[in-house]
A and B are shown apart, each in its own frame.
Chain A
């Protein structure tokens, strides 16, 4: 285990012990061209034979699967952002005086700057395949493992349903299926990419919003895309999960967003839950030593 095994920049497959590992593979999901068709959700379920998530009208715009779960490994979020008049205009229209009260609404519905156009944001979310995967770190059975492509996969036949991984995921991705109790999530189509195939979701995506490939190349492509969008006047374009220096050592599946991460239901500053593990063990070790010492001292004292 290297010094960065739990935190910081790292190439995870060699770190996990793979000799001559292939390049790290991942997803770049460009939400600026997502049309919300949900072909990714359906293709994922078809290939992986996942049960449906129930027939419930949720009223969250056109999202009726609600979020990533044991039965939804790709999930398209829909965010409706109404025109936002400038605060002064809004107050003038309302005929009220600004009392300095913060507005309470969902993230992204209100902004500090006025927004002149209605926006309907769509984003296909997926497991991030973190460089430092909390789920994998805490799995007691070895059901979760790092593949040679640097991705994180559950072996359902080993999973004992303990659920530690669920609490350990900083994104709330991995989930237990109610009827069988085991944990399930995106495998980045481990059973396809080993045969040179594209994962089902990326294969089905009509607009190349979901791109699959070598992570290094995807990062370059994503940086160019952000520049192009900025040049075209889309200043809100930004990347999420691309940086090796973030709290999970960078995501294997990263995103181009058009608003703050919170707007899409993503944590703004995710940190691998096992980051402080060495520190905790160190402290626990010191505490244990101190305890042992005090016990020893107490025995010594008695004797004395």
Chain B
């Protein structure tokens, strides 16, 4: 955190000065560790084992906040008799289909509701479209009435299933698997549990490298399970908070730059699943389900009214037919491979530098070199605009500048100080920025670029009679003259009452009859009362400690989601120290320091009538109102591709055989099994000794991601002027590496070179009785800028988390050797030789299912 978020880290320092204990769990000793009381080195890629160990510690020592767990989680709910755990199936859950490597999830459902589970085949489509991301604002569909055992004794209740699942994640196993001594592990367990409960809460804060694993979503899930068990959700000082990798990454999922979502987490229509408007709406609101999502039609119609204005009518389903459709996986990595295969002809890159910043840099560059045209908008001439003339593939002869077919257009972009608009940060707070200076030369904002691009395309298509152009022709496209107004855009996002022309104040005003518009329903209210609420700058000392008048948070300016959980089931604060939102019986309403995340006048004692649906079905103690059952999920009966409970799988590349199950790695991980995307061998495969070390990559404080904004600046470049690799003294001795000398690092994809820093900040770990060396690389360098160097991301292959299609880029296996790497075509044959020695020859396929029974079957063949 100190390394990548130094400004935010000031609050950790302040907490430490006030007496907080700071523990840092990380493979390497970083700037964060330097300020922590304790640094716990851990093996990269073993986090579920570590956190699962904490779950086990909580359950076996009954350290859970029992009243909270009973009232607000699904601990007491009874799961289907058909459910089988990884403990029973050697690392697989019930329902696994080896032909698609996905699950039929019906057996994970609550008892008596198996038919509500995700059906066979559906899971496969959901993986292709990263459908799990819709759940950022609401849970997966679920029935409301579920059998429960409030004594938590039923062997099929979630609590007991969870206990059995994590029983083997003992401190001894954590030590063997993660390399963390038991005493250090128990110190973490004790600190976390002691600081949770009625009087205290603990926040789990992570940087988004945590998500970049083939089990990334399940890492976060394990953290969420701990926070639910300890009663740290929906309460002040609690939560699971992601430190985003750039400004407004939260904003770019709310109003997405993703292929599979529309604003406000509405799913992008799929050509088969959502053929009609009604199918699409029903897929969102799930008729019969309880919760606020039942109003989805109003949000969807308002979005279409914002897009298409008067052209959107009830008769034409509000223009639903004009929206594009998904046909499968169009994720960023699929696209890179499709470019290589010639399926994509043109591409826009906006403030993104995949030639350096994305996994498998070679595939990214070869893909871009096979386009007809590429538009790059950036502050500087970045590698993704010059790969065709000085990328690494030019040296190897794979790209010839004279014949490279891609026509690259570089458009200078305005920086954040040169334009106005909002940033949305991790707490969902929108903060308006003023423009400080005019952009230089021809540089313009993204808004200007797209506004004028849209105007020109619309002019070209004005006379078209093709049905496919109707959507473009009918777009509302009026944001000002030459320089479009950012405020106008934010107002359109906020939404209008179309009958009066007034701005809406809350999404509850949205209607499904076409009389309201709104570009992103969860942002409705940012222009409440006609005022730009995101621009509020009232200092903290002039308002309450929750600071509701600084910027504006979605939804409804609520600062902590699910804050009904900050009061006990009867509506009273859990403790006066942690009072936040509570029921005022005299006034007959919820009140407190924040905007209550509950219907204002629904008493804690409210119980829904038989057969109720939608908002009416939410009980007075259903704190997690956007979940189908109103409860926080310790066990996810639906919605996750890879299992209802996080399970330790080894990374896609590991030299360790999974000590817990026959199943080595996440069986549902998204793989692109093709010769230009090889995966280093892992047990039970042979030849793991060819790539005997673990590597991880991350950022330095001195540089920003792919370096486009830092390697161009002398004051930052001088602070970290060269690509380097950090190794422990033991590894340096083992491989003959000299401090400040050169080394090259090799995987099945690439070999890169770096200067060596030998440092005790890296420690070899003892895993399963053997020494595991980890090395660490920053990923900031490329071929442009004041300081240049090889890119660490070239080492990484494309293997993705199945839920959200994020790449596994924080752990892999490699070799390291002293000296510089070969250059020119010799580099290709050098890497080829490694592949040959590792058995990655034509016809090789990485095995996905590796349970012992599968292995036996292989042996018999």
Residues of A within 8 A of B (CB): 33, 35-39, 41-42, 45-46, 51-57, 59, 61-62, 64-65, 80, 82-83, 117-122, 206-208, 228
5 contacts between A and B (CB under 8 A): A35-B32, A36-B701, A37-B701, A45-B715, A206-B6
Residues 1-37 of B, flagged 1 when their CB comes within 8 A of A and 0 if not, give 0100011011001000100000000000101111100
Residues of B within 8 A of A (CB): 2, 6-7, 9-10, 13, 17, 29, 31-35, 39, 700-702, 714-722, 724, 739-740, 755, 757, 759-761, 786-787
Taken together as a complex, chains A and B put the C-alpha atoms of A121 and B740 apart, in Å, by 21
The answer to whether A33 touches B35 (Cβ under 8 A) is yes
Taken together as a complex, chains A and B put the C-alpha atoms of A33 and B31 apart, in Å, by 11
A63's nearest neighbour on chain B, judged by CB, is: B719
Given the complex, which residues of B lie within 8 Å of A207, measured CB to CB? 6, 9-10, 13
Given the complex, which residues of B lie within 8 Å of A39, measured CB to CB? 6
The answer to whether B717 touches A52 (Cβ under 8 A) is yes
State the Cβ distance, A206 to closest chain B Cβ, in Å. 5
The answer to whether A120 touches B787 (Cβ under 8 A) is no
A51's nearest neighbour on chain B, judged by CB, is: B714
State the Cβ distance, B261 to closest chain A Cβ, in Å. 34
The answer to whether B29 touches A120 (Cβ under 8 A) is yes
Given the complex, which residues of A lie within 8 Å of B10, measured CB to CB? 206-208
Given the complex, which residues of B lie within 8 Å of A120, measured CB to CB? 29, 31, 33-34, 761
Q: Take A37-B2, A120-B34 as given contacts and tell me if A55 and B761 are in contact as well, using a CB distance cutoff of 8 Å.
A: no
Given the complex, which residues of A lie within 8 Å of B755, measured CB to CB? 57, 59
The answer to whether A64 touches B760 (Cβ under 8 A) is no
Given the complex, which residues of A lie within 8 Å of B757, measured CB to CB? 59
Given the complex, which residues of A lie within 8 Å of B787, measured CB to CB? 55
- For the complex with contacts A35-B35, A36-B2, A46-B715, 13 further pairs of A-B residues with Cβ separation under 8 Å are A33-B13, A36-B31, A38-B701, A38-B702, A52-B717, A54-B718, A55-B718, A56-B721, A57-B755, A83-B760, A118-B39, A120-B33, A228-B17
Taken together as a complex, chains A and B put the C-alpha atoms of A125 and B716 apart, in Å, by 18
The answer to whether A64 touches B39 (Cβ under 8 A) is no
Which single member of A57, A82, A206 contacts B724 (CB below 8 Å)? A57
Given the complex, which residues of B lie within 8 Å of A206, measured CB to CB? 6-7, 9-10
Taken together as a complex, chains A and B put the C-alpha atoms of A121 and B29 apart, in Å, by 12
The answer to whether B718 touches A36 (Cβ under 8 A) is no
Given the complex, which residues of B lie within 8 Å of A122, measured CB to CB? 31, 34
The answer to whether B739 touches A59 (Cβ under 8 A) is yes
Q: Tell me what chain A mostly uses at the interface: helix, strand, loop, or mixed.
A: loop
State the Cβ distance, B126 to closest chain A Cβ, in Å. 41
Which single member of A38, A46, A121 contacts B719 (CB below 8 Å)? A38
B13, B700, B702, B715 — most chain A CB neighbours (10 Å): B715
Taken together as a complex, chains A and B put the C-alpha atoms of A64 and B716 apart, in Å, by 11
Taken together as a complex, chains A and B put the C-alpha atoms of A251 and B815 apart, in Å, by 51
State the Cβ distance, B841 to closest chain A Cβ, in Å. 38
The answer to whether B29 touches A118 (Cβ under 8 A) is yes
Given the complex, which residues of A lie within 8 Å of B34, measured CB to CB? 35-36, 119-122
Given the complex, which residues of B lie within 8 Å of A42, measured CB to CB? 715-716, 719
A35, A65, A228 — most chain B CB neighbours (10 Å): A35
Given the complex, which residues of B lie within 8 Å of A64, measured CB to CB? 718-721
A43's nearest neighbour on chain B, judged by CB, is: B715
The answer to whether B739 touches A35 (Cβ under 8 A) is no
Given the complex, which residues of A lie within 8 Å of B724, measured CB to CB? 57
State the Cβ distance, B818 to closest chain A Cβ, in Å. 16
State the Cβ distance, A299 to closest chain B Cβ, in Å. 66
The answer to whether A35 touches B2 (Cβ under 8 A) is yes
Taken together as a complex, chains A and B put the C-alpha atoms of A62 and B10 apart, in Å, by 20
State the Cβ distance, B5 to closest chain A Cβ, in Å. 9
Taken together as a complex, chains A and B put the C-alpha atoms of A268 and B104 apart, in Å, by 71
State the Cβ distance, A116 to closest chain B Cβ, in Å. 11
State the Cβ distance, B9 to closest chain A Cβ, in Å. 6
Taken together as a complex, chains A and B put the C-alpha atoms of A80 and B7 apart, in Å, by 23
Given the complex, which residues of B lie within 8 Å of A118, measured CB to CB? 29, 33, 39, 760-761
A53's nearest neighbour on chain B, judged by CB, is: B718
The answer to whether B9 touches A41 (Cβ under 8 A) is no
Taken together as a complex, chains A and B put the C-alpha atoms of A31 and B56 apart, in Å, by 39
Q: Take A57-B740, A82-B760, A118-B39 as given contacts and tell me if A37 and B6 are in contact as well, using a CB distance cutoff of 8 Å.
A: yes
B19's nearest neighbour on chain A, judged by CB, is: A232
Taken together as a complex, chains A and B put the C-alpha atoms of A83 and B719 apart, in Å, by 27
Taken together as a complex, chains A and B put the C-alpha atoms of A53 and B29 apart, in Å, by 27
Which single member of A35, A36, A57, A61 contacts B721 (CB below 8 Å)? A57
State the Cβ distance, A272 to closest chain B Cβ, in Å. 32
Taken together as a complex, chains A and B put the C-alpha atoms of A228 and B724 apart, in Å, by 39
Taken together as a complex, chains A and B put the C-alpha atoms of A120 and B9 apart, in Å, by 17
State the Cβ distance, B728 to closest chain A Cβ, in Å. 11
State the Cβ distance, A211 to closest chain B Cβ, in Å. 13
State the Cβ distance, A68 to closest chain B Cβ, in Å. 14
State the Cβ distance, A60 to closest chain B Cβ, in Å. 10
The answer to whether A80 touches B760 (Cβ under 8 A) is yes
Which single member of A52, A62, A83 contacts B718 (CB below 8 Å)? A52
State the Cβ distance, B800 to closest chain A Cβ, in Å. 32
Given the complex, which residues of A lie within 8 Å of B722, measured CB to CB? 55, 57
